[in-house]
Structure 1
Amino acid sequence: MANPHLTAGSVWRLHHAGRETARLTVTGTDMPWTHARVETLPGFEEFRSVFAEQELAVDEEDWDRLDTCDARIRGALTMTFPDGSPVAEFMLHIHADNTAGWRWHDEPFAEPTPEPDH
């Protein structure tokens, strides 16, 4: 059975401090990635530079910087499914051409287990 959240035209929403800042209209999927057209709303522009830095980190294969960008995005923004329910965890890329790709999980990503002190 197809996931109704992934149907072309479904709208996922991005929020900051309880305010909707972007709408992500699904254009297709390439599992595990979902792709969309992005409609930015007031409040989104303050995050545009983080997404640009994230894209540059990917291009330069700077994985530590990418992890930092992803953490900043997830720390500041929340995402909801088309039915309005919260997405527990996501990895989102919004590109300069206002397209997006993301993957999500129903439960928060596990924090890395710290190495024991010897």
Structure 2
Amino acid sequence: MANPNLTTGSIWRLHHGDQEIARLTVTGADMPWIHAEVETLPDFEEFRPAFAEQERAIDEEDWERADACYTQIRSALALTFPDGSPVAEFMLHIHDDGTAGWRWHDEPFDVVDQ
């Protein structure tokens, strides 16, 4: 049976505290990554620079800077499944073109120093 969280059109939600700041509408999956169109809400703007910096760091293969951006994003934001339940762990990239890619897990990732 297909995972309903991965169904095209499913909407995952990004939160800062109790405020919804973005909706991620699934467009496809290339496991372990899920891809979506992003609808940002007004409170997202506070976090846009962190996602832009993360994308630049990845493009430049500056993994230490990319990890710092990931830590900043994860410490401030939460992601929920389409049913509203919390995602235990995720790595989210929101791109300037209005798309996103992320991977998730039922348990927190083990953080390993590289």
1:94 aligned residue:
94
Stretches (4+) displaced over 2 A? 110-113
Distance 1:93 1:112 in 2: 20
Q: Which runs of 5+ in 1 are unaligned?
A: 114-118
Q: When the two structures are superposed, what TM-score results if normalisation uses the length of structure 1?
A: 0.93
What is the aligned length?
Answer: 113
**Residue in 1 that maps onto 2:104:** 104
In 1: Cα distance, 2:101 partner to 2:110 partner: 22
Structure-1 residue corresponding to 2:18: 18
Which residue of structure 2 lines up, in the alignment, with residue 2 of structure 1? 2
Q: What is residue 52 of structure 1 aligned with on the other side?
A: 52
User: What amino acid does structure 2 have at the position aligned with 1:88?
Assistant: A
For structure 2, which runs of at least 5 residues remain unmatched after alignment? none
2:43 paired with 1:27: no
For residues 13-32 of structure 1, the C-alpha deviation after alignment (integer angstroms, 9 at most, x for no partner) is 00001100000000000000
Letter matched to residue 22 of structure 1: A
Whose Rg is larger? 1
TM-score for both structures, normalised by structure 2: 0.96
1:49-88 correspondence to structure 2 within 5 Å:
49-88=49-88
The alpha-carbon deviation at position 112 of structure 1 amounts to 4.1
Look up the SS of the partner of 1:44 in the other structure.
helix
User: Cα deviation per residue 1:20-74 (whole Å; 9 max; x = unaligned)?
Assistant: 0000000000000000000001210010000000000010000000000000000
CA distance in 1, matches of 2:111, 2:27: 31
CA distance in 2, matches of 1:37, 1:111: 28
- Secondary structure of 1:97's counterpart equals coil
Counterpart secondary structure, 1:107: coil
Q: Deviations over 1:52-107 (max 9, x none)?
A: 00000010000000000000000000000000000000000000011000000001
- Opposite residue 9 of structure 1, the aligned amino acid is G
Residue 110 (structure 1) shift: 2.4
Give the letter aligned to residue 10 of structure 1.
S
